[in-house]
């Protein structure tokens, strides 16, 4: 590195402090609890320090700034994902389904994740992300994809799941702020939706078909439909690639 070049700032690119009274694990665990309870806008080094009964200076020994803290908490929740090992190549699809549903569940449990994935720093260097990426690539390779294509196949699945889960997380967060359940919110919206779609017969028919259905089950079915079509496309690619 030349004298004019600046190092890339990331929690993953500098040495970790050891033998401190307040550990990085404690900081990250409390930050996740804060984010789950109050959302991203509530996260600050000062507030986190107060919850840990520690000054902000103690936190800065482990984390240089809020951006680094976000890197840490994103990697932490990625540790919740499940990526099964497979011996039988024909089981690749079931393994990818499990991984996709696990990622969706994580993002819906921690809705703040959706708002930071596009701006987080070197998340790909986090130990949980590295471990899970390696395992996912192993499943895709075991399925029969060429090494040059495994990353593209994995990225296609992840892009679908993250896109769908981001929309769901935003939707559910909005409903949570209303103080209503999802079913109550949808029922209260029904008269306005019907009035707005009065002159649009296709939308009206779709809206009528959803009446009385459990909205969570509808979201599950919509997610699974898209996931199966993505996996169908990858299966065709395997057969004819």
- How far apart CA 62 and CA 132 sit, in angstroms, is 24
Closest Cα to residue 169, out of 157, 158, 180, 161?
Answer: 161
Tokens 């499943």 sit on residue? 139
- How far apart CA 98 and CA 227 sit, in angstroms, is 11
Closest Cα to residue 78, out of 40, 34, 134?
Answer: 134
pLDDT computed for residue 231 by the predictor: 98
Secondary element (H or E) of residue 106: helix 92-109
Q: 13-27, 124-138, 145-159, 177-191: which range is least confident on average? A: 13-27
Please say if the pLDDT value at position 16 is more than 70: no
Taking a C-beta distance cutoff of 8 angstroms, is the pair 82, 133 a contact?
no
Domains of the chain as residue ranges with CATH: 11-78 (1.10.10.60), 89-240 (1.10.357.10)
What value does the mean pLDDT take over residues 223-232? 98
Taking a C-beta distance cutoff of 8 angstroms, is the pair 48, 59 a contact?
yes
Q: Which of 8-22, 194-208, 212-226 is the most confident on average? A: 212-226
- How far apart CA 241 and CA 231 sit, in angstroms, is 14
Give residue-wise pLDDT tens across range 141-189.
999 999 999 999 999 999 999 999 999 999 998 898 899 999 998 888 8
Taking a C-beta distance cutoff of 8 angstroms, is the pair 77, 104 a contact?
no
Q: For residue 151, which phi and psi values (nearest 5 degrees)?
A: -65, -40
40 vs 17: which has the higher pLDDT: 40
- pLDDT-derived band of residue 64, with 50, 70 and 90 as boundaries? confident
- How far apart CA 227 and CA 105 sit, in angstroms, is 14
């Amino acid at each position: 590195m030349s004298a004019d070049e600046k190092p890339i700032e990331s929690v993953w690119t500098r040495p970790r402090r050891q033998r401190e009274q307040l550990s990085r694990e404690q900081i990250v665990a409390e930050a996740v609890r804060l984010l789950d309870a109050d959302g991203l806008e509530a996260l600050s080094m000062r507030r986190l320090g107060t919850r840990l009964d520690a000054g902000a200076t103690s936190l800065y020994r482990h984390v240089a700034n809020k951006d680094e803290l976000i890197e840490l908490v994103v990697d932490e929740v990625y540790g919740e994902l499940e990526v099964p090992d497979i011996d039988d190549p024909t089981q690749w699809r079931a393994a990818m389904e499990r991984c996709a549903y696990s990622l969706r569940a994580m993002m819906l449990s921690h809705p703040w994740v959706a708002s930071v994935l596009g701006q987080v720093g070197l998340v790909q260097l986090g130990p949980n992300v590295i471990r899970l990426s390696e395992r996912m690539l192993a499943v895709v390779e075991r399925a029969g994809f060429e090494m040059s294509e495994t990353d593209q196949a994995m990225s296609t699945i992840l892009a679908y799941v993250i896109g769908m889960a981001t929309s769901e997380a935003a939707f559910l967060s909005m409903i949570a702020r209303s103080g209503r359940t999802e079913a109550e919110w949808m029922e209260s919206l029904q008269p306005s939706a019907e009035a707005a779609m009065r002159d649009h017969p296709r939308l009206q028919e779709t809206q009528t078909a959803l009446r009385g259905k459990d909205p969570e089950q509808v979201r599950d079915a919509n997610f699974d439909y898209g996931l199966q079509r993505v996996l169908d496309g990858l299966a065709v690619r395997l057969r004819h690639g």
